Amino acid sequence: MPNPINTGKKQFLQKFALLLLSVVTGLCLSEYIIGKLNLVPEFIRWPGHNIRFVENPGMVYEYIPDMRKGRIKTNKQGFCDADFSLEKPKGLVRIAMLGDSITQGVFVAPQENFSEKLEALLNKQSRENKSPLRYEVMNFGVVGYNLEAEVETLKEKALLYKPDIVVLNMFFNDNEPIPGLDPMFISCYDGLSERQQSYVIKRYIYNRNSLIRRFERDVLFRSKLYLFLISSFHSARRDREALLKVYGLHDGAYGDMKSIYRGFEEIDKLKKQYGFDFLICIHPSFFRESENDFKFASIAQSFGFNYFYMNSYYKKENIPPQDLQLRGHSNDDCHPNELGHSIIAGAMFDELKKHNFIDSGQRYLEGGAANR
């Protein structure tokens, strides 16, 4: 005679298994339908039509590789330059340019960018000196990047190409808490609502290294169903409070130098590990000096890094600030025009010579600073 307790337990397990199967099937079906119908809001997948989110929370986003939309044209590696080759011939000196939109060269033609102009100056000198050395300046600049994103770019991408020299281009907002905070999420020329902006900011700023946030970012954000649900039930009131909090950070020019120390510590380790020469260029706002510029220089000095103020070269040329501005961009006080890029290229050429980075031909012929 069957045991009623065992029978009841068996029926319970069967019902539980059927329920579990139904739930899993329903979740999988929902995931498929949401993905098929593209129901996840666009702003969650990427904030602009030229960029996409990446898994690295320090980098946040990158340009879509091999893409041409509007003014932006990227190579196969996702940077505004010619395609990079992993092969590095003997006698080739590679310079990796790290930075934000100033380095990328927004609003100027690719051939007018200071990376291109510097490369031309270096190779011209090499030809005149009948040197067997050839120079390649690789532009790793991405609009909106802060120091943390630039260091991650160096680690994940630039070092693959064995640069002999790394040049870090800094601007006064390089200690902002998230890459692209102003151009991507606050000014937001791509038309994100405040709710959408704050969603992206909260995703990457608040408690981003906690166990729960890492699990959400690394696991849950891979699910289209999860993205759909959180975008549907997001609290507008909390969004507004979060956005005001971020505006407060923005208005205060951040002021926190911990991220700069951390970034320089990481660069110092990489410099010792890979043996590249290192130079910092601090770019100015045309019409005012920033306290952050001097703080960045002071921290660089404490690490023994070579640095220079680009503003001193502008002053040396005796050029009015407005003559460096882009035509039709009177409100833009940081992105130089073609003249500005020419002066930057000349300044970097002088600084590289000053620190004996480009006159030590023999060590480059023997494999370069990165291979010492």
pLDDT in tens, 137-152: 999 999 989 999 999 9
pLDDT in tens, 27-81: 899 888 988 887 765 444 444 457 777 778 788 888 889 988 777 889 999 999 9
Give φ, ψ of 308 to 5 degrees. -150, 155
What is the reported pLDDT for 171? 94
What is the reported pLDDT for 182? 60
Instruction: Say if residues 321 and 332 touch (Cβ distance below 8 Å).
Output: no
The span from the CA of 105 to the CA of 264, in Å, is 24
Extract the tokens encoding 278: 């290192």
CB-hemisphere CA count at 13 Å for 151?
20
pLDDT in tens, 278-333: 999 999 998 888 889 999 999 999 999 999 999 999 999 888 889 998 888 788 88
Q: Mean pLDDT over residues 189-196, rounded?
A: 52
Domains and CATH numbers, the chain: 43-47+178-251 (no CATH), 65-176+255-371 (3.40.50.1110)
Q: Which residues contact 339 (CB under 8 A, 6 or more apart)?
A: 319, 323, 324
The span from the CA of 188 to the CA of 337, in Å, is 23
Task: Give Cα 183 distance to the centre of its chain.
Answer: 12
Extract the tokens encoding 316: 């040396």
Q: Count CB-CB contacts under 10 A for residue 353.
A: 13
Instruction: Say if residues 43 and 35 touch (Cβ distance below 8 Å).
Output: no
Q: By C-alpha distance, which of 281, 345, 354 is closest to 116? A: 345
pLDDT-derived band of residue 277, with 50, 70 and 90 as boundaries? very high
Instruction: Say if residues 182 and 176 touch (Cβ distance below 8 Å).
Output: yes
Q: Mean pLDDT over residues 255-267, rounded?
A: 88
Give φ, ψ of 342 to 5 degrees. -65, -40
The span from the CA of 50 to the CA of 34, in Å, is 23
Q: Which residue has the tokens 């045309």?
A: 286
Instruction: Say if residues 140 and 170 touch (Cβ distance below 8 Å).
Output: no
Instruction: Say if residues 147 and 170 touch (Cβ distance below 8 Å).
Output: yes
pLDDT in tens, 329-351: 788 889 999 999 999 999 999 99
pLDDT-derived band of residue 224, with 50, 70 and 90 as boundaries? confident
